[in-house]
Amino acid sequence: IEKYRLQPNSMQIGFITNLQKIVEAGEKRALLISATGTGKTYASAFAMRELGYKRVLFLVHRGQIAKQALESYKKVFDKSVSMGMVTGKHQDYNADYIFATIQTLSKEDVLEKYDRNAFDAIVIDEAHHSSANSYKKVMEYFTPKLWLGMTATPDKRDDNLEGRNIYEIFNHQIAYEIRLQDAMEEDLLCTFHYFGITDLKVISDAGKSATEKMESFRYLTSDERVEHVMKQAEYFGHSGERVKGLIFCSRIEEANELSKKFNEYGWRTLALSGADSEEVRRDAIERLVNDDINELDYILSVDIFSEGVDVPEINQVIMLRPTQSPIVFIQQLGRGLRKAEDKEYVVILDFI
């Protein structure tokens, strides 16, 4: 039933139409710039189906994202193509549609399993990473009919450096562009209420000695700050029955210590970092979104939830880490922008 109900949205239709024109004009590279939550993965699946590609490689930078993309593609395709993953744990090398992590695929012994023109199309998810050496290696090896890059955030701070400009990498062929503002206007995303809140004091590790860093860490996790954050979070509230929140911190030690203190003060929280296994992360997300005995109010994260992880139920995002990167800022904001039942809006609290 879901397969029959699954229809492309306005962004996806516009994108597929433009992509077909780009391919017909003989171009081999294209870029989809689309705000977080507007359905890039589904858009690429619909496009691969429309263009009739038999063998496709979908490249991501985390195993969990590969699995999510595979599940999305399965909903668009019937069993006419076989699908599998090539990651640290999976070796489905011969599937028609392969969802692979760049870390695994860029290894010499894995690359050599494939002919250079083994794929009709290669999709690069979160394409703002494509200037990294691992991606370059893969892009220099394969010769598909189409390279499709997808990102919500193509503009990086090092765009002026040679070989770092994402537009350049994809030959300036923009198949479609829908930024946050347009996506909001087209009702593709959840409304957000953004509040910039003064943090108690300016925090930065830049140029500080180890002793000074220790001092700022003590401040970051002080009872005064914990109470300040909790008071503001409760004051500005959330949409829905209970809070399902995500808190971004600067470093792992801060996330762990804050989580401990929040729990002492009565919140149910858990800190996650890149060191945690995908099973641990999956379990934490389950506890955050499902209403049962073992539920969580907040997950505290350092970098791992910035991109690629879809948790539509998140109804409050708290930014405790200072960032000067527009990419990181938009990605963190984007974590709460997916629509979900019983969620009218998401509250974004930015401690500045």
pLDDT digits (tens, 9 = 90+) for 17-75: 999 999 999 999 999 998 877 889 999 999 999 999 999 999 998 888 899 899 999 99
Higher-pLDDT residue of 152, 135: 135
At 303 the pLDDT is 72
At 308 the pLDDT is 56
Q: Is the pLDDT of residue 79 over 90?
A: no
At 1 the pLDDT is 46
Q: Please check whether residue 35 is in contact with residue 183, taking contact to mean a CB–CB distance below 8 angstroms.
A: yes
- Lookup: tokens for 55: 């063998």
At 207 the pLDDT is 61
Q: Please check whether residue 170 is in contact with residue 124, taking contact to mean a CB–CB distance below 8 angstroms.
A: no
At 161 the pLDDT is 67
Higher-pLDDT residue of 76, 180: 76
Q: Taking residues 176-201, what's their average pLDDT?
A: 87
Q: Is the pLDDT of residue 2 over 60?
A: no
How many CB atoms within 10 Å of residue 170? Answer: 25
At 210 the pLDDT is 63
DSSP conformation class of 164 = -
**Residue 23 amino acid letter:** V
What pTM was estimated for this model as a whole?
A: 0.75
**Residue 177 amino acid letter:** E
Report the C-alpha gap between 179 and 42 in whole angstroms.
17
At 179 the pLDDT is 84
